[in-house]
Structure 1
Amino acid sequence: MPQPANPEPAPDFDSMLSRKFGKEVANYFSGSPLNRVGFLRSDHKFLSEALRHPSTQFLLCNELQPLIHSSKPDRLGFVKHEVVQPVIGDDPYAATEQDMLGQYNSTSYVPQMIFLGIDEKAKEGVSYQNKKNTYKGAPYFAVDVTPRASVKEECEKLIQGLDAKGLGFAKGRVMDIEAHDAAIYAEARQLLDWNARNPFCAQCGQPTLSVNGGFKRTCPPKDLARSAKQASSGISNAISTTPETPADESERPPCATRKGVSNVSFPRTDPTVIMAVVNHAGDRILLGRQKRWPPYWYSTLAGFAEPAESIEEAVRREVYEEAGIYVGRVVIHSTQPWPYPANLMIGAVGQAIPEGETIDLGNDPELDDAKWFDFDEVRHALRVGTSGLGEDAGPEYKEGGLRLPPSTAIANQLMVSVVNGFVSAQPKM
């Protein structure tokens, strides 16, 4: 399958920054067409209107896999409110967040839903005035329709109906859909996954509630399931109102997260450095490979940033640990959201110091091999030998030649920039 194009970067204009650093690089999974309007996520009046508006688009995910068109697998499939209504109910935002906290019942299963933002370029959309400003656009939501719990039957019926309409859920890692759709899916997948992974409070272990359009989780002070449990066990009100127990049977034990401003948990994003390292002479690039990769397939080095560590320090540490190379100057190149499950790839270019270019794989067993490659060999591989891990190289590729990641990977963009003049400031394209 042809590799999808990366999103267009921010509009370029004659400015000091563009003259000094060149045109911005936009990577796959970025470039969303949506305005997230994060300040409206807690406004349930807006969310309620947006949910039922005729222009609203719903991206459905089953086991985190997005809905796509069977005949056009490079495009996401969106549905309207009436399609998903049997699963989500009439209006999940009928109550305010405060009321939701008071009505919380941990035994009631509610499908996870994420407010993704609004498409301000859509021809039709909701118009909502909040304080001094009016916001217009087609709303987008993501909904988890994985068949489970009390909505299992409704989800199964929904999925069967979608299949009859030529819509199905993508298989495997999604890397071949159109760029703007990929950015929408990245937001949806990461938020759905985070909510699914964090159903309990990290401080007290009690179940949490998803709020703020799916972007926060909070530990409610009450749980109606506690009252039901006590009633079913035959505990009398007289016992429950002793000094040792709360008068309100639904009250939960104290939790530190309900004090001060730290009363919510936020989505996790893991900063990850990925770097194109050039030698001191500026004519070779360091690439490595893992054992599980296809033969001759190499990429740039990468690793997680650690606590109390700058990005530049993380680059130098990871390159030393994995390949034994000592890196001097580090420059940030571009970034890429990576929703598998929650990474932010921070692309950098570093240059080895003259006496630190000897490769040593003895520190860390992560790499199977690492080599310095001439720029000319990398340029050729970028033209004929790029592919995903499970895909064949292009028709011009000859067995034994260098293979590299596809253009949708930030590693590819880093290599392209380096071998075409990013370091020397002498473009060769």
Structure 2
Amino acid sequence: MHKPQPDLPEPAHASVDSMLARKFGREVANYFSGSPLNRLGFLRADHTFLSKALRHPSTRFLLCRDLQPLIRTSEPDALAYVKYEDVKPIIGEDPYAKTEQELIDAYDSKTYVPQMIFLGVDEKDANGLEYTGKNTYKGAPYFAVDVSPKENVKDACEKLIAKVGEQGLDFAKGRVMDIKAADAAIYAAARQLLDWNARNPFCGQCGQPTMSVNGGFKRTCPPKDISYKVSNALPTTISTPANNTERPSCATRKGISNLSFPRTDPTVIMGIVNASGTKILLGRQKRWPPYWYSTLAGFAEPAESIEEAVRREVYEEAGVHVGRVVIHSTQPWPYPANLMIGAVGQATPAGETIDLGHDPELDDARWFDFDEVRHALRVGTSGLDESAGQEYTEGGLRLPPSTAIANQLITSVVNGFVSGEAKM
């Protein structure tokens, strides 16, 4: 089945005239970017703000079960939200009633605390919360809450899941790539932060359980644990009584490196043109549908610039030598934690020969004429699990959908990005 693709985010400040816009064209905004929320990251440790945001009438809560977001079955292209009263049985009366330090001091690793993320505020909502700290901020707060039925909140989660089901709501299936762009950006942040917290329940230095802080954007290794008994690890002495809750020392509690931060993996993805600027290099993996090709991509390695990563990946996968590399645009990719850094590079005159013998990742790689690619962009784009459009003829080139940065790179290249004839 071929699905219509959602519109992409509107580029930031698209109507503002500037030297950069005149020279390079307007900014490219890819799917999963362009969030309508102001993250207000500097307020994540302000428990007074979070407490008020939690219970404000304008506040929206995005429920996620096994990282899948809540949507309306009658309107599957948009996220669905619930109110504070709906999630209160799961998160409690006010998880932000105490300061962050007070919560750390009272840490109990044996008590499961549902993961919640403060996503930001929608400043366009005239009925939003108005909060004055060092400055005044106004907007409707957004939170994400993990309602996967677990431990002490299992019954409360199951009741809420049943309740929203009766209201015509359900959790999305598979990769969420067909909701409207603004909602996709909100979900991308929610999914990535919920996933990161779930993957990092223990300290990487001492192995002890960690605690989510800073609105879900950091994890800390508390020095105390109500459930921890020193007798489990050390002999009891007069100075270390059995009811002592002090945990063993940990390097993460010293100096400035006392927190764990969400990971983002830089990944290069590149549209490579030949030396004469008339063809684009595309590759395919064995598991992809027949005739479905895309741009090459790979993870950037430590101590490697983005430009170097582009050259290395293209050489390793296709044997092609790349000269000049420029950055085109980027795309958050929350599966699970990538930042796709889109680049355009040009092969050196003597380095265009394709050789798949270095790295067995690709099943095939070819140079495609721009005209063939432009035709495929019009009739043959789709997701991997979807059929091509009605105008597609079997045997023709197929390409990724517009929600993928690969599509945007390909489109820009074949429409003059390298030659400078078109600014996109």
More divergent stretch after superposition (189-198 vs 419-428): 419-428
Quote the offset at 1:226 in angstroms: 1.4
Does 2:118 correspond to 1:115? Answer: yes
The equivalent position to 2:186 in structure 1, one of 176, 184, 187, is 184
Q: Secondary structure at the match of 1:356?
A: coil
For residues 129 and 241 of structure 1, do their structure 2 counterparts lie closer, same or farther at Cα, with a shift above 3 Å needed? farther
1:16 alignment partner in structure 2: 19
Question: What is residue 420 of structure 2 aligned with on the other side?
Answer: 425
Tell me the equivalent position of 1:97.
100
Of 195, 210, 223, which aligns to 1:208? 210
Pair 1:155-2:157 in alignment:
yes
Question: Using the alignment, how far apart are the partners of 1:14 and 1:342 within structure 2?
Answer: 34
Query: Could you list the runs of 4 or more consecutive aligned residues of structure 1 that deviate by over 6 angstroms after TM superposition?
Result: none
Q: CA shift at 1:19, angstroms?
A: 1.3
Out of 345-354 and 8-17, give the one that drifted further. 8-17
Taking the aligned partners of 1:354 and 1:247, their CA distance within structure 2 comes to: 73
The DSSP-based 3-state class of the residue aligned with 2:78 is coil
8 Å Cα contact 1:55/1:138 also seen in 2: yes
Equivalent of 1:242 in 226, 238, 254: 238
Note the alpha carbon deviations across 1:53-107, whole angstroms, 9 max, x for none.
0000000000000000010000000000001111111001111110011100000
CA contact (8 A) 2:25 2:423 kept: no
Shift of 1:14: 2.1
Question: Does the 8 A contact of 1:240 with 1:249 survive in 2?
Answer: no
Offset from partner CA, 1:188-218 (integer Å, 9 cap, x none): 0000000000000000000000000000000
Asked if residue 389 in structure 1 is aligned to residue 392 in structure 2, the reply is no
1:25-174 matches, cutoff 5 A: 25-131=28-134, 133-174=135-176
Deviation at 1:248, TM superposition (A): 6.3
Distance in 2 between residues matched to 1:178 and 1:144, nearest whole Å: 22
Are residues 1:290 and 2:285 paired?
Answer: yes
> Deviation per CA, 1:32-67, whole angstroms, max 9, x where unpaired?
000000000000000000000000000000000000
Give a deviation string over 1:347-383, Cα, whole Å, max 9, x none.
Answer: 0000000000000000000000000000000000000
Q: Is the Cα contact below 8 Å between 2:212 and 2:220 reproduced in 1?
A: yes
**1:428–1:45: structure 2 CA closer, same or farther, 3 Å change rule?**
closer
Cα RMSD between the aligned structures? 1.6
Q: Paired residue for 1:224, among 223, 226, 240?
A: 226
Q: Distance in 2 between matches of 1:322 and 1:419?
A: 22
What is the distance in 2 between the residues matched to 1:184 and 1:241?
52
Distance 1:270 1:116 in 2: 20
For the residues of structure 2 that align with 1:14 and 1:189, how far apart are their CA atoms?
Answer: 35
SS at match of 1:75: strand
Residue deviations 1:233-264 (CA, integer Å, cap 9, x gap): 9x9xxx74434x36861000000000011110
Paired letter, 1:56: T
Tell me how far apart the structure 1 counterparts of residues 237 and 94 of structure 2 sit (CA, whole Å): 36
Matched, 1:367 2:367: no
* TM-score calculated relative to the size of structure 1: 0.96
Q: Distance in 1 between matches of 2:5 and 2:191?
A: 21
Counterpart mapping for 1:245-260 below 5 A? 245=240, 249-260=244-255
Which residues of structure 1 form unaligned runs of 5+? none
Which amino acid is the alignment partner of residue 129 of structure 1? T
Which range moved further: 419-428 or 402-411? 419-428
TM-score (norm 2): 0.97
Deviations along 1:158-209, whole A, 9 cap, x unmatched? 1000000000000000000000000000000000000000000000000000
CA distance in 1, matches of 2:30, 2:63: 24
Residue 201 of structure 2: which of 199, 202, 207 is its match? 199
User: How many residues are treated as equivalent by the alignment?
Assistant: 421
Q: What letter is aligned with 1:353?
A: T
Structure 2 gaps of 5+ residues are none
Distance change in 2, residues 1:203/1:328 (3 Å)? same
Deviation of the 1:16 alpha carbon? 1.2
Local SS of the residue matching 2:197: helix
Residue of structure 2 equivalent to 1:261: 256
Shift of the 412–246 alpha-carbon distance from structure 1 to 2, 3 Å rule, reads farther
Q: Residue 288 of structure 2 contacts residue 384 of structure 2 at CA under 8 Å; is this kept in 1?
A: yes
Separation in 1, partners of 2:51, 2:61: 14
